[in-house]
Structures are given as structure tokens and as C-alpha cells.
Structure 1
Amino acid sequence: MLVDSHSHLFLEEFAEDLPQVIKRAQDAGVTHIFMPNIDSTTIEPLLSVCASYKGLCFPMIGLHPTSVNESYKQELDIVFQQLTAPNDFVAIGEIGLDLYWDKTFLKEQLVAFEQQVEWALEYHLPIVIHTREAFEYIYKVLEPYKRSALTGIFHSFTGTEEEASRLLEFSGFALGINGVVTFKKSQLPEVLKNIPLSRIVLETDSPYLTPVPNRGKRNESAYVKDTLMKVADIYQIAPEVVAEATSENALKVFGMLK
């Protein structure tokens, strides 16, 4: 059993061969694929893929920070409409802050992030957080919620040991580990040694961040197995044990643990 806690299989990169991509994921042992939304343009394809593969693919709703611009209020309105209509959303995501490409809309990104955190609490949903070059901002926004019912995943964690320990202060959160852990220059293997297995989940972020040995190819959910093997090696634990633990961690966050 393997869970891909973060995958964008609804994007056009998979338009030609999605059934084969899904089949390879299932053959690799993947039982659940969680899919974060990006913005209003991706809601329809996201829901369509999740409807076609019900029981395997699970949708989230949210506004990605790189899609926050002048019209962010309209975008948030659409997220809210989706949230209040009958839906199958398992989380609010992916949301957060991205100051890597552009800092123009920092203020708007902060407003959008905080609003979506509030909705998560209101609708009793976990959040999936995207952070790029914005650790201190994210921490500052979340700090007041430390003792709240807020839960979620810090997606694509690639930070330092100190950052990891600060994020682990949020007891209802897990760190999302993906193909970056397999990269030659990644510091993540060293950092992971000090993070309890009970606090990590595996993800692909397909079609991005393809793990070794498939670097250079489009990423897909089946490749979560490559990340699993690397993580098992770091912890010096059998892959089956890591697969079971990380899958349980993910299903717990998404409120699906039976």
C-alpha cells in the first residue's frame, strides 16, 4: 500500500495517456492519489479526473499562491462557491506563499492564505501548504493556530533541520517528502534522519520533481515508489514498513483512516 499525497494528474501533461498512468500507479501499489487544485481554470479537469477514478483519486479545493494576482478576490469567491456546494473535497489546497518567482502580490498572497486557513477550520478540512522562499511568513501566519484544530501537510518540504523542528511544533501536520530527497545535491537525507517517521508523508508533485532514477522524465504517481525506496534507505527500515507508516500518516491527515 502506497499513498501519493500530492499529484496533479489532471494537468494537460497527462491528457494523452492518463489511463496508462493510473494503471502504472496501481501496479506500483498506489491506493490513494490526493489532488490539489491550482485555480479556477483547473477545477473542472480536477473534478473530472477524480470522478473517473473515484475511490483512487481525491480532490482538494484551493487557490495556489502563484495564481494570486489582481483578480484574487474573484478566484477566492470561486473557491468559496465550491466549498459551500455539495462536494467531495478532502482538503483545502494547495495554498500558501510563493516568493520565488515574484514578490509583487505578497500582500494579496497573505490575505488569500489566511482566508483559506480560516475556511479550513470552518469546514473541518486539513490544508496542504505550498511554501517557496517564504518560510518565516508561513510560520508567522500559522503560529496563532498552533493550538487550534488545524491539521495538514507542509507539501514538498526541503528545508533545514531547524525549519523542520519548527514545523513539527504543529502537532496535526506532516511533512511532504517527494523526489527532491533523491537528488544528488539534496540536504534532505541528513535532515530526515532527525524527523520521526510518524510525521512524514510521501508525494510525487507530478508532473514535477521526478525522482532518481527517472530524472528528466515527466513525473507520475507510480514514481512515489522511488521516493519510498530512498526514504527507507535513509531510515534504515524495510520499505514495506515505511510504505505502511507514511500511508497511514497521509490517510490520518485526510481524515480517511478507518
Structure 2
Amino acid sequence: MNYIETHAHIYSTKFDSDRDQVIQDIKDAGIERVYMPNVDVSTIDAMLACEEKYPGLCIPMMGLHPCDVKEDFREQLATMANWLDKRQFGAVGEIGLDLYWDKIFFEQQKEALKIQIGWAKDRNLPIVLHCRESMDETIAIVKEEHDGRLKGIFHCFNGNLDQAREIIEMGFLLGIGGVATFKNGGLDKVIPEINLAHIVLETDAPYLAPVPFRGKRNSPAYLPIIAEKIGDYLHLSKEEVALQTKQNALNLFSEIAS
């Protein structure tokens, strides 16, 4: 049984002490590919080092996380645009909006998101969207910028059924992670109403570990736990969830799927 992890910060310093063992655990769990979202300029080197050390397994994205959109965001974006011109990345991400931590730079977040969506359209790349406490605002910008070819993932989806249907109608996928296992996560009311063709698996490691590891460091090796929970909601086997979500991910990341 093989899985594709669509969102994990495996290059995080939280894995520095035992990354080789974590990678072995990932392989042992049947994870055949880990897509790594970038955060800001300072994380690029560590992310690319992971790609170099674990070729074929760790696939980098390029983008500026909304929580790191500050006064210097245009300079950071210029550096990232240069990287996108130099080589292939799996997606433009992690990009989006965040109204949970800080609203001071919200207008700049919106500008940065639109610029990075433009990169994706120019390069025919998917986008991976962060939308914490900003689901409706993110949906609105994606609708505004959509050209009929735009595609991607609403990462860490924890919205309601109406929002899920809007996202699916735009041709986007729902990234489902550890929140699906949380008692009050809310996805028990959404996932049963969604066809598996619209879902991809993710952990957001090292964050948001699923039950029974909630509160501890997360790992892509826990992806089968999430697949099993989604299967419970949809009355499908873990194997069926793994197969369909893998195909969904490969279809999305088709630029480098070969």
C-alpha cells in the first residue's frame, strides 16, 4: 500500500536530531512521496538539502507562507521568483491568508497571494493554500484569479460543507490531515458528504499530529491513521483511500509525476 503525503515540513529543525530515522519510518509506512511546502527565504536551503539527501521522496514547493508576509515581502517574493525561473518545483506553496495570528499585514498577504497565483498560472503549477481563519476570504481571491486552469489544494481544510463544495466546484482538492481524527474537528460532518476523488492526504508534520499522537511531533509516517479515519467516514477500506488519494495527488502534481 502506497501513500502520497501532500504537505509536510520534513526539513523543519524539529527533525534535525533524527531525520534519517523519521525518513526510514516514512518509507516503512508506505509513503512514496513527500511534498514539502516552503515557508520563507530562510527555509529554502534546508528544504532543498532534504530533496538532495532523499531524492525521489522529498519534493519541494516554492512560496511565501502568509504568516511570514511582512514589510520585506516583495524582496522575499523576488528571491522565490528567481528560484522558480531556475528549476522545477512541485507547486507554488505554501501560500494563502492567515487571520489567526496577526491581521496587521492582511492587505500585504492578499497582494502576495495574488502575485504567487500569477506565478502558478504562468508556469502551469498547482498552488497549495493556507487558509487559517480565512477560508471565505481565500475562496474569494481564488475565484477572482481563476482562469479555468488554476488547480491546487486547500491545505488543512477544516471548513464547512458549503465551503467544501465551493472549493470542489473550482476544481480544487481538500487537503485532509490530523484534524479528521479530532473529536471536535468538525470534519465528521463534511467528509461523509464528499467524494474521495476530491481529497488528498497530508499531515502538516511536525504540526497537528492525529489521535492518538495529538500534542506530539507529527510525522508523515502517521498518514495511514488519517487514511483509516477517512475510510471510516466513507465506509471504505484504508487501502481504497490510499489508492484513490494517491491518484488524486499524482494527477495534481502531474508536472513531475513521472
TM superposition score category, shorter chain reference: over 0.9
The match for 2:135 is 135
2:223 corresponds in structure 1 to 224
Match of 2:23, as an amino acid? I
1:253: how far off?
Answer: 0.8
- Corresponding residue for residue 235 of structure 1: 234
CA distance in 2, matches of 1:242, 1:146: 29
Contact 1:6/1:203 (<8 A) preserved: yes
In the TM superposition, what is the alpha-carbon distance from 1:216 to its structure 2 partner? Answer: 2.2
Secondary structure of 2:226's counterpart equals: helix
Q: What is the Cα deviation at residue 187 of structure 1?
A: 1.2
| Distance in structure 2 (CA, Å) of the matches to 1:46 and 1:115 | 22
Contact 1:248 1:257 in 2 (8 A): no
- Letter of the aligned partner of 2:59 in structure 1? F
2 CA distance for matches of 1:136 and 1:220?
29
Does the 8 Å contact 2:117/2:145 carry over to 1?
no
TM-score (norm 1): 0.97
Q: Name the residue aligned to 1:177.
A: 176
- 1:153 maps to a residue whose letter is I
Deviation of the 1:146 alpha carbon: 3.9
Counterpart residue number, 2:201: 202
Residue aligning to 2:14: 13
**Once the two structures are superposed, what CA deviation does each residue of 1:153-198 show, in whole Å capped at 9, x if it has no partner?**
1100000011111111112x11000000001111102210111100
**Does 1:151 pair with 2:181?**
no
Shift, 1:132, TM fit: 1.1
Deviates most, 132-141 or 108-117: 132-141
Unmatched runs of 5 consecutive residues or more in structure 2: none
Task: Report how far residue 147 of structure 1 moved.
Answer: 4.6
- CA apart distance, 1:145: 3.8
**How much has 1:144 moved relative to structure 2?**
2.9
Establish whether residue 69 from structure 1 lines up as the match of residue 70 from structure 2: yes
Distance in 2 of aligned mates of 1:108 and 1:146 = 20
Within the alignment, does 1:81 sit opposite 2:82 as a pair? yes
Percent sequence identity is 42
Partner of 2:57: 56
2: CA distance between counterparts of 1:59 and 1:43?
9
Distance in 2, Cα, partners of 1:80 & 1:257: 22
CA distance in 1: counterparts of 2:201 and 2:219, whole angstroms:
13
Aligned amino acid, residue 230 of structure 2: V
- Matched residue type, 1:139: I
**Cα distance in 2, alignment partners of residues 30 and 131 from structure 1:** 26
Distance 1:76 1:149 in 2: 23
Partner of 1:37: 38
- Work out the CA distance in 1 between the residues paired with 2:17 and 2:257: 33
Q: Is the 8 A contact 1:37 1:64 kept in 2?
A: yes
- Count, aligned residues: 256
Question: What is the CA–CA distance in structure 2 between the aligned matches of 1:214 and 1:135, rounded to whole Å?
Answer: 26
Q: TM-score, normalised by structure 2?
A: 0.97
TM superposition shift of 1:257? 4.7
**Structure 1: runs of 5+ lacking an equivalent:** none
3-state DSSP class of the match of 2:156?
coil
- Letter of the aligned partner of 2:210 in structure 1? P
Q: Does the 8 A contact of 1:7 with 1:36 survive in 2?
A: yes
Once superposed, what is the RMSD of the aligned Cα atoms? Answer: 1.0
Confirm or deny: 8 A CA contact 2:114 2:145 kept in the other structure: no
Task: Supply the AA of the counterpart residue of 1:202.
Answer: L
- The superposition leaves residues 199-254 of structure 1 with CA deviations (integer Å, 9 ceiling, x where unpaired) of 00000000000001111220011011110111111111111111000011011111
Paired amino acid for 2:132: R
